[in-house]
Structure 1
Amino acid sequence: MMRKILSIFIVTLLIISCNQKQSDNYTVTSIEDESILVEQQYKNSSHESIDEVEKQEVTKKKIIKDGRLGIRVSDLENIKFRIDTIINHYGGYYASEKLNNSDWETSYNLKIRIPSDNFMKFIHDAETGVGEILYKEIEARDVTDQFIDLETRLENKRNYLKRYNDLLIKANSIKEILEIEEKIRALEEEIESTTGKLKYLSDLVAYSTLDLTISKQKNFKYYPIKRDKFSEKLKQSLSKGWFGFVDFFLFIINIWPLWIIITLIFYLWKKYKMKIKRK
């Protein structure tokens, strides 16, 4: 009887031990398999085509508006003040402001950022009744596809980041922890980069850019070049001539070894010639 009870106890212990090992192996294997699955899904999603992304519902178009406008005016300062007033009225600002003043023209080169909803209104007010329109270019670019693509990729990356963080909690070895942390770091960098691109595009969509040039022509006037008096020019010429002569004389003295060599060569050549004549 005791042998039978002992045999049953030993068999029970063996069964429990085997189940525990299988459970541990399943935990490690499941973490590795799940990590591989997440990585495969992430790689597949990163190559998702824009055509599939465009199927999502878009509530509002994302349009970037830019323009160039050149105006010739008769009263530059008053028109510049008028442009300042219109910009403040529509909630815009100057990205840059340059004043150029030449003999034939005075002009302001202005880079203006205006809320997109007020962009065309601003252009209409700026060009109405101010002077001659020299050129005008307006461009609108639809970047809705880029927005959808970036937003979708960003959402996917955040989802995979969450899943990797969940896997990090379940990791049982240093190797697994380091591998998952490396994937998390790479994902965080990609999320930061994609977020920056979205912010940049959002700014371009929210605020339109206009390069505005307002100019005023001047009546050309001839301004003769001022010259010194004849007496001053004469003094300057005599002074330069004297200093030039002194410099030349000093240069001749400076190369005295060369004169000795030339004299010696001349003497030898003369002596050689006289010797030939005697023969």
Structure 2
Amino acid sequence: MKKVIQLIILTVIITSCHQEPSLKGYNGADSFMEEEIAPITRQASVAPPPPPAPPITTKEIIKKKIIKDGRIGVKVSDLKLAKARVDSLVENHKAYYSNEKLNNTDWESSYNLTIRIPSSTFEGFITAIERTKGEILYKEIDARDVTDQFIDLETRLQNKRAYLKRYQDLLKKAQTIKEILAIEEKIRRLEEEIESTTGRLKYLGDLVDYSTLRLNIRKQKEFKYNPAQRDKFSERIKQSLSKGWFGFIDFLLLLTKFWPFWIIGLLIIYFYRKIKRKKALTK
């Protein structure tokens, strides 16, 4: 009996001794797994970094296209000096005269000037005119925004050029004469439209780059009576006699033109008198 009990105790001890390494290994594996998993769980708990900011797109800034025109009238005391002053301003501002007209009457002398001025110096030119010695009679400045027209024309021009390129490519692939003639007609029309649109853009560009100023500078004069010169009395007598004689000749020629009426009148008078005589004889 004792041997049986000792055998059971020995079996339990041996079994417990064999189980301790496995527990220790399990605990070690758990600690190893905890070390491996812990960083992953910690990384998962951290918020993800924000997405990269979208690239900044800068819109193309469209430069305004402004056409400026002006009209100014100035009354001065010295027209020659004022004109020299304007000439100097034109040269300094790199402007030019597109039209220049001088009027000289008994009442006043004046210059009508049409000046093309670079738009960047237009306001400075106007200010300089206002500072000249003289009286401003009138002033009118207009500004027109043609930016939309520019954009529209440039867009049309770009599209027409793209269509022209396509038709030119089609022309290279055309095989029949009918196709070639049809494509060439399209190309001809597109080239005319492109030329017209380009000319319109250049015209608007010139109006934008150079502003127009119509300047009138005038000087009043003291009125002086200037009688018209007359010929001598003898010369006037000769002219009167000559004009009278030619008038008489013209009158005779006028009467001669009516010779058929003279004949008809004489016939009427002749028959009238003849009838009157017959009536007198019958009585």
Decide: shared fold, TM above 0.5: yes
Does the residue aligned with 1:200 lie in a helix, a strand or coil? helix
Deviation at 1:61, TM superposition (A): 0.4
Residue 150 (structure 2) aligns with = 147
Aligned length: 224
Residue 169 of structure 1 aligns to which amino acid in structure 2? K
Residue 81 (structure 1) aligns with = 84
1:218 aligns with 2:209: no
1:103 aligns with 2:106: yes
CA distance in 1 between partners of 2:120 and 2:183 (Å): 46
Q: Which runs of 5+ in 1 are unaligned?
A: 1-55
CA distance in 1 between partners of 2:117 and 2:198 (Å): 23
1:64 aligns with 2:67: yes
Residue 119 (structure 2) aligns with = 116
Q: Which has the larger radius of gyration?
A: 2
Does the residue aligned with 1:226 lie in a helix, a strand or coil? coil
1:131 aligns with 2:117: no
Distance 1:175 1:257, change over 3 A: closer
CA distance in 1 between partners of 2:70 and 2:258 (Å): 70
Does the residue aligned with 1:106 lie in a helix, a strand or coil? strand
Equivalence map 1:233-244=2 (5 Å):
233-242=236-245, 244=247
Residue 274 of structure 2 aligns to which amino acid in structure 1? K
Does the residue aligned with 2:187 lie in a helix, a strand or coil? helix
Among candidates 162, 166, 171, match of residue 169 of structure 2: 166
Residue 129 of structure 2 aligns to which amino acid in structure 1? A
Residue 188 (structure 1) aligns with = 191
Residue 113 of structure 1 aligns to which amino acid in structure 2? R
Distance 1:272 1:110, change over 3 A: same
Distance 1:140 1:270, change over 3 A: same
Distance 1:270 1:170, change over 3 A: closer
Deviation at 1:152, TM superposition (A): 1.0
Residue 134 of structure 1 aligns to which amino acid in structure 2? L
The CA RMSD measured in Å over matched residues stands at: 2.6
TM-score, length of structure 1 as denominator length: 0.71
Deviation at 1:183, TM superposition (A): 1.9
Equivalence map 1:257-268=2 (5 Å):
262=265, 265-268=268-271
Moved more, 264-273 or 144-153: 264-273
Among candidates 267, 271, 274, match of residue 274 of structure 2: 271
Moved more, 152-161 or 91-100: 152-161
Q: Which runs of 5+ in 2 are unaligned?
A: 1-58
TM-score, length of structure 2 as denominator length: 0.70
Deviation at 1:259, TM superposition (A): 6.1
Distance 1:268 1:76, change over 3 A: same
Deviation at 1:267, TM superposition (A): 4.2
Deviation at 1:271, TM superposition (A): 3.3
Residue 31 (structure 1) aligns with = none
CA distance in 2 between partners of 1:161 and 1:256 (Å): 79
Kindly provide the CA deviation profile for residues 124-166 of structure 1, in whole angstroms up to 9, marking residues without a partner as x: 1122132011111000000000111111111111122222222
